[in-house]
Amino acid sequence: MKPASAPPKRELDAVGVMCHLVRPTLQDCADVAAAAEAAGAGWCMFPDALGWRDVWLCLGAAAAATSHIIIGPGVTNPYTRHPFVTIAALATLDEISGGRTMLGVAAGGSELSAIAGIDRSDSPDKLRSLIEMLRKAADGDSPIPYAPSIPNVPVVGGARGPQMLQTVAETCDIALLWGQTHGLLQEAASAVRGHRAAIAWAPLRRADMAHVNDALVYGVLNSPPAVRRKLGVDDTLEQQIRSRLMERGMDYAAALVPDSAVAEFVVDDDLDAARVVATQLGARHIIVQVFATADVAERVTWARGLADSLSAGD
């Protein structure tokens, strides 16, 4: 029987963590989650990347290593996993973790098309369908026969293009903005404001310069052609970066990202400078990008300081 109403949705704290370790092991995920929890982050997401260790198994390891932090994929997609599979996995993780789950979703990286031959041109519709199915299931109207109880979890959506931004803004609880030039971030925030989703900003800091090119591979490749050219990436270099990414992965492709492009993505470590950007974006959540487990505590402390300053300014 369908319940009268869905259970209350759990809320996400102002500070979250996004694991950016390359091909993290189960132990890596457990360590990052434990460090994030100890540092005071409210939630932690782990990558669902093509060919990497299965994100739901990694999340099981993270759940076993923690007691109260909220965890989830950051981000999964509606292509490599059918929505039925994602919803069942989410329900299972919620049971394992004692009700500590969230869901991060997006269209999937360009490798889905290049390697797996997946056409992602319908990604806005696919993502909307997944989220609507999840909402209905949490309200007791599951399309899956004999499905377990489905949690009413917060949904974080990642997007860059106009159609995906609109879908995320209208259907998700939080819109994840990251890996774009400062100008494109402002445009994305403008597209989200006024809709359902709150804005979460995941800044790339100067403190992360040793790792920032890895994160910028997708940022550069997913930028509009005119923006790529301004960043010093012509057609030939673009193809070289894509080829390296497909052949040997992100870290190998990162070596080709021009140093001149970095300034367009990176924010200073100074909290006042970061606060100006976060205020302009209308950010309500700050997400730490973690490239090394040893850095988690400092990164979370910095993000908490930024989030607290934003809250004090409301």
Contact status, residue 132 vs residue 171, Cβ threshold 8 Å? yes
Name the most confidently modeled range: 39-43, 137-141, 219-223: 39-43
Whether the predicted pLDDT of 111 surpasses 80: no
At 158-207, the pLDDT tens digits run 998 899 999 999 999 999 999 899 999 999 999 999 999 999 999 999 99
Percent of the chain past pLDDT 70, that is, above it, reads: 95
**Whole-prediction pTM:** 0.91
Written as six digits, the tokens of 43 are 């939630």
What pLDDT is stored for residue 191 in this prediction?
97
- Please state, rounded to an integer, the average pLDDT across all residues of the chain: 91
Q: Is the pLDDT of residue 314 over 70?
A: no
> Which tens digit of pLDDT belongs to each residue from 276-299?
999 999 999 999 999 999 999 999
Choose among 246, 177, 263, 276: nearest CA to 212: 263
Nearest-angstrom CA–CA distance, 230 and 208: 23
Per-residue pLDDT, 4: 41
Q: What is the pLDDT of residues 7-36, one digit of tens each?
A: 567 899 999 999 999 899 999 999 999 999
Domain ranges of the chain: 15-202+268-312, 217-267
As a CATH number, domain 15-202+268-312 is 3.20.20.30
110/250 Cα distance (integer angstroms)? 12
**Beta-carbon neighbour count of residue 137 at 10 Å?**
25
CB 209 within 8 A of CB 232: no
What does the pLDDT read at residue 5? 47
Q: Whole-angstrom Cα distance, residue 294 to residue 54?
A: 23
- Measure the CA–CA gap between 127 and 188, rounded to whole angstroms: 18
User: Over the stretch 237-276, which tens digit does the pLDDT of each residue have?
Assistant: 999 998 998 888 777 888 898 888 888 999 999 999 999 9
The mean per-residue pLDDT over the stretch 63-81 comes to 96
